[in-house]
A and B are shown apart, each in its own frame.
Chain A
Amino acid sequence: MRDIRYLDDVATLIFDKEACVGCSLCTVVCPHGVFELIDGKAKIVDLDGCMECGACVNNCPVNALKVTPGVG
């Protein structure tokens, strides 16, 4: 959501590019368009848009993603 923004520099999303197999599921489930698939790998394009819902973490097949909500 680009029109309403919450705080910057608080999202705890961590992405392990090495582990990513480019399945694109994170780009499907994220409700804030945080990822794009670029050259067969996920890329975080809007970190501050992340609301730490955990949908991507829950569905990444190789545990390449992590969020720790509430310790920002």
Chain B
Amino acid sequence: MSIEIKPPLKHIQSENVSILPSMDRVSPVLFDEKKLKHSSPLSEYEKSGYVIAHFVEKFIETDAGPIPVVKRDLTLRDRVETLGARSGLTRNNYRIAPGLYAIGKPDQNSEVLVTANFKLTFDILRSSINSISAWILVLDSFGVNVWCAAGKGTFSTQELVNRINKSGLERILNHRRVILPQLSATGVKARDVKKMCGFTVIFGPIRASDIALFLQNRKKANADMRQVTFTFKERLILTPIELNIAFKPLIITTLAIFIISGISHKIFSLENSLNRGLTALIFLLIGVLSGALITPTFLPFIPFREFAAKGALSGFILAFCVLVLFSVKSNITYFSTSSSLSLLLFSTAVSSWFAMNFTGATPFTSPSGVEKEMRRFIPFQASAAILSLILWLYSGF
């Protein structure tokens, strides 16, 4: 493709006035044909209105058109984006365009790895499959990870079949099989996929980091690859989201605390409100920290099976320690028996509640179990909170 170079215009004028002298000359750089051709390997794939994703390193031509090849290494930008998503700040909008991608130098015999279009999931996949060359088929899961999307029905049989058909995979491949993450099995019926588009679904390992070994073992997964884990790190990673969820109710409760703490024989005392309010706020934060951070992180080390019980225990112990510390370190006079008891109950109830909420984020709690736990523990949490409130009001007079 050659670009026709027109002779530079003598004058670029606006109503007979030369705006800038430099405008009279057409920049020679702009029309240097050699430079244009070699500027970037990606530039010929640019399309108006589209942006080539930053994780694409080049394109390969196939019988189904050009396919973007993605990088294996995560850049600083990827890592910063990951942090944003993990903290819950950008999580709701962290998707990549669904469709067919490539990694390495795949050919017509290469495997097809299917994944979700949650960018974190995609990043983990491309950065942890070692030197494998493969096709990557990204389904539209609305920016949600594989397991949750499969449960919600967006990572589904129908979506997979649609994407296989739309991607033109059958024009590229010699075979008719795709490898799915095992956890998509709640949303994808393997035999229906076969019926609908002729592709065989192979359920691969749960974790992307096991894919290399899985392929080496002639697509056999060992027992470890098939079982979910919930390690210290995996639990810790979830806690920012838990704290984020806690934020809104926290603000409302804080407001209520300052109002309630001000109630006294003078009807309302600003001094009480501030002093006692601040104390109560500390114990609210202890409850949240214990329920949404400490209990999830140290989950298996805290006695009891029920999360609500684990949370109550850790909240109680933590609040107790802080109370002791307070009474030793200072001479705060309003730490009467009733207010101490109230604060203890408060932290315990709050911690128990947030710990119970964490059941929704783990990979091993059955809905039947959670329901049973909630039926048993919500009455306890409510009574503790009410008792705490009564004691707090009482101690204000």
Q: What is the interface of chain A, defined by CB distance below 8 A to chain B?
A: 1, 3-8, 10-12, 25, 27-33, 49-56, 58-59, 61, 68-72
Report chain A residues within 8 Å CB of B223: 33
B373 within 8 A of A: yes
Chain B residue at minimum C-beta to C-beta distance from A68: B368
A4 CA / B203 CA spacing, docked (Å): 25
B143 within 8 A of A: no
- How many whole Å from B162's CB to the nearest CB in chain A? 18
B371 within 8 A of A: yes
Q: A30 and B186 in contact (CB under 8 A), knowing A7-B305, A69-B368, A72-B372?
A: no
Contact B226 A11 (CB under 8 A): no
- How many whole Å from A31's CB to the nearest CB in chain B? 4
Contact B182 A69 (CB under 8 A): no
A34 CA / B190 CA spacing, docked (Å): 20
Contact B365 A3 (CB under 8 A): no
Report chain A residues within 8 Å CB of B366: 6-7, 10-12, 50-52, 69, 72
- Given contacts A28-B226, A30-B226, list 8 more A-B pairs with CB under 8 A: A5-B305, A6-B362, A6-B364, A11-B368, A31-B363, A32-B227, A51-B365, A69-B366
Contact of B186 among A1, A3, A58, A61 (CB under 8 A): A58
Contact B371 A55 (CB under 8 A): no
Contact of A1 among B183, B228, B372 (CB under 8 A): B228
- How many whole Å from A63's CB to the nearest CB in chain B? 12
Please encode chain B, from 287 to 300, with 1 for each CB lying within 8 Å of some chain A CB and 0 for all others: 00000000000011
Please encode chain B, from 188 to 203, with 1 for each CB lying within 8 Å of some chain A CB and 0 for all others: 1111000000000001
Contact B369 A29 (CB under 8 A): no
Q: What is the interface of chain B, defined by CB distance below 8 A to chain A?
A: 151, 182-183, 185-191, 203, 206, 221, 223, 226-230, 299-300, 305-306, 362-369, 371-373
Report chain A residues within 8 Å CB of B191: 59, 61
Contact B300 A29 (CB under 8 A): no
16 A–B contacts from the bound complex (CB under 8 Å): A3-B300, A4-B300, A6-B364, A29-B185, A31-B183, A31-B363, A32-B228, A53-B186, A56-B185, A59-B189, A68-B368, A69-B367, A70-B367, A70-B368, A72-B369, A72-B372
Q: How many A-B residue pairs have CB under 8 A?
A: 101
The residue in A5, A52, A58, A68 that gathers the most chain B C-beta atoms within 10 A of its C-beta is A58
Contact A54 B365 (CB under 8 A): no
Report chain B residues within 8 Å CB of A1: 227-230, 363-364
Contact A4 B186 (CB under 8 A): no
Contact A12 B226 (CB under 8 A): no
Report chain B residues within 8 Å CB of A50: 366
A15 CA / B183 CA spacing, docked (Å): 21
A58 CA / B187 CA spacing, docked (Å): 7
Contact B187 A31 (CB under 8 A): no
- How many whole Å from B349's CB to the nearest CB in chain A? 21
